[in-house]
Amino acid sequence: MGAGHAHKLYRHGHSPVHRLPPHCKLAAVFGFVLVVVSTPREAVWAFGLYAALLAAVAAAARIPVGFLLKRLVIEVPFVAFALLMPFVVPGEQTTLLGVSVSVPGLWGAWNVLAKATLGVAASVLLASTTELRAVLLGLQRLKLPPLLVQIASFMIRYGDVITDEMRRMSIARRSRGFEARGVRQWGVLATSMGALFIRSYERGERVHLAMVSRGYAGTMPVIDEATADRTQWAYAATLPVLALAICLLGWTL
C-alpha cells in the first residue's frame, strides 16, 4: 500500500466543513438532495439559489471550483440523454435556434439536468470533505444495519487490493501477447474474471480465519464513536433548512 490511505476523491483540509461529524454531513446532504428533487421545475430561480448554497459550502470547505467541475464529468451520459428529451417528447412545439423542439421536453430536460447536477455536486462535496472511514462511522451512527456497514468497510478496505489483482492479471495477459480486440477475446477475459472471483472469495475466507483467530465473534468492536453536539447539528442543518425554505417559496410563488 504505497499510495496514501485516503481515497482519491478526498481532499485533505481543515475547514469547518471537514470538521463536521460525518453523520451530520450525511444527513444534511440527503436532506438537501431530497428537497431539491421535490422542488417544482418551473421555479428556475430556486435552482440558482441551491447552486449558490452549494457554492457557499464549497467556499467554506475551500474546495477549488476546478476540482468540483472535474468531478461533475460523471454526469455526462445523462446530459446526453437530457439533450434528447426536447426532440422525443410530444407536445406543444416551439422553435429554438431554428430547430423545432417541444416545450414539455425542454422542461423535462431542464428538470433532469438541474436536479442531477445539484445532486452530483452535493455528493462530490460530501466525498471530498469526508474520509472513507468517517463516512462508514457516520452511516453506522445513522442506524444503518451494522452488518451492512461491515460489508461496506470490507469492500472499501479490499477494493484496491482486488482492483490491483485485476490489474496484475491484465499485465500478465498482455505480457504474454494477449490483446483484447473484440468479442472473440471474451473467453480469456471471462476466465480471468472467474479466477479473480475465486481469489477474492478465498481471500475472504482467509480474512475471516485471521479475524476468528483474533477473537472475532460476529461483531466488530467499536473503537471510536462519532458524536455530535447540538451546535454541530445546527451548523450542518443550515444547508437543508435553507434549501427547504427555498423549496417552500418555490411552491407558493
248 touches other proteins (CB under 8 A):
no
> Minimum distance from CB of 91 to other proteins (Å)?
7
- Sign, CA torsion 19/22/23/26: positive
Binding positions for other proteins, 182-211, rule CB under 8 A: 182-183, 185-187, 189-191, 193-198, 200-201, 203-205, 207-208, 211
- Alpha helices in 98-229, H assignment, sequence order: 103-129, 132-141, 146-175, 186-213
Name the strand (E) or helix (H) holding 93: strand 93-96
64 touches other proteins (CB under 8 A):
no
Using CA atoms, how far residue 136 sits from 20, 128, 132, in Å, is 14, 15, 6
Binding positions for other proteins, 121-160, rule CB under 8 A: 122-124, 126-127, 132, 135, 145, 147-148, 150-159
Pick the closer one to other proteins by CB: 155 or 245.
Answer: 155
Cα–Cα–Cα angle for 127, 109, 87, rounded to 5 degrees: 145
Q: Phi then psi for 102, rounded to 5 degrees? A: -95, 145
Span of 49-57, 92-100, 109-117, 223-231 interacting with other proteins by CB under 8 A? 109-117
Span of 12-20, 53-61, 165-173, 228-236 interacting with other proteins by CB under 8 A? 165-173
Determine which residue in the list 11, 18, 23, 115 makes contact with other proteins, applying CB under 8 A.
115
Distance CA 227, CA 204 (A): 31
What dihedral do alpha carbons 137, 142, 143, 147 form, nearest 10°? Answer: -30
For residue 18, count other CB atoms closer than 10 A to its CB: 20
> Minimum distance from CB of 182 to other proteins (Å)?
5
Asked if 152 contacts 7 with a C-beta cutoff of 8 angstroms, the reply is no
Binding positions for other proteins, 65-94, rule CB under 8 A: 71, 73-78, 80-81, 84-85, 87-91
Span of 50-58, 106-114, 222-230, 231-239 interacting with other proteins by CB under 8 A? 106-114
178 touches other proteins (CB under 8 A):
no
Pick the closer one to other proteins by CB: 141 or 153.
Answer: 153
> Minimum distance from CB of 107 to other proteins (Å)?
8
Pick the closer one to other proteins by CB: 12 or 208.
Answer: 208
Asked if 169 contacts 195 with a C-beta cutoff of 8 angstroms, the reply is yes
Q: Which three cell numbers stand for residue 177?
A: 501477447
